[in-house]
Chain A
Amino acid sequence: MDLDTLLSFEWGAMAPEFIILGVATILSIVDLFAPKHLDRKIFGWIGFAGILLALASLINLVGLGPVSILYDTFRLDGFAKAFKILLLIGAALVMLLALSYKPKEGMEEYKGEFYYLLLAGLLGAMMMASSGDLITLFVGLELLSLSSYILAGIRKKHLPSNESAMKYVVNGGIATAFTLFGMSYVYGLTGTTNLIEMTNVLPNLANAQYIYILGIAFFMIFVGLSFKLATAPFHMWAPDVYQGAPTPVTAFLSVVSKTAGFVILIRILLTVFGNAFAGNSGVAAMTNFLVGMQDYIAFLAAATMIIGNVVALRQRNIKRVFAYSSIAHAGYLLVAVTAMSSFMFDALWFYLGAYLFMNVGAFAVIQLLTQHTDNEDIGVFAGLYKRAPWLAVAMGVFILSLAGIPGTAGFIGKLNIFIGALASEPAHYVLASVMIATTVISYFYYFGVLTQMFFRPAAEDEGEGGKIRVPVGLSIALVICVVATIVFGLFPNIALDFFHTNFEGFADFLQ
Chain B
Amino acid sequence: MTFSGELLAFLCLALVAVIGGVLLLNLTKVVHMVVALVFTFISLAGIYVLLSAEFVAVVQVLIYSGAITIIMLFGIMLTRHNDTSEPKGGALKKIFLFLGVLGFGVAVYIGIYNLDFNPQATTLHENNTEQIGMALYSKYIIPFELTSVLLLVALIGAIILAKNDNKKEADKE
Contact = CB atoms under 8 A, between A and B. Distances in A.
Interface of A: 1, 21, 24, 28, 69-71, 73-74, 109-110, 113, 116-117, 120, 123-124, 127, 131, 133, 135-136, 139-140, 142-143, 146-147, 149-150, 153-154, 156, 165, 209, 212-213, 216
B137 to A, nearest CB: 8
Given A139-B147, A212-B110, A216-B107, A113 B160 contact: yes
Given A71-B139, A136-B143, A139-B143, A113 B108 contact: no
B160 A150 contact: yes
Nearest to A121: B153
A156 to B, nearest CB: 7
A216 B111 contact: yes
Given A109-B165, A113-B160, A209 B150 contact: no
Interface residues of B, number: 27
Nearest to A127: B146
B91 to A, nearest CB: 23
A140 B146 contact: yes
Contacts of B143: 73, 133, 135-136, 139
Q: Which 5 residue pairs of A and B lie closest in terms of their CB atoms, listed nearest first?
A: A150-B157, A1-B138, A73-B142, A136-B143, A213-B111
A406 to B, nearest CB: 43
A216 B108 contact: yes
A143 B165 contact: no
Nearest to B162: A156
Main SS of the interface on chain B? helix
B141 interface: yes
Main SS of the interface on chain A? helix
Interface string B138-172: 11111100110110111011001100010000000
Contacts of B92: none
Contacts of A136: 142-143, 146
Given A139-B150, A212-B111, A216-B108, A69 B160 contact: no
A214 to B, nearest CB: 9
A314 B50 CA distance: 56
B122 interface: no
A341 B53 CA distance: 44
A73 B139 contact: yes
Given A150-B160, A213-B112, A156 B165 contact: yes
A75 B45 CA distance: 35
Contacts of A123: 146, 149
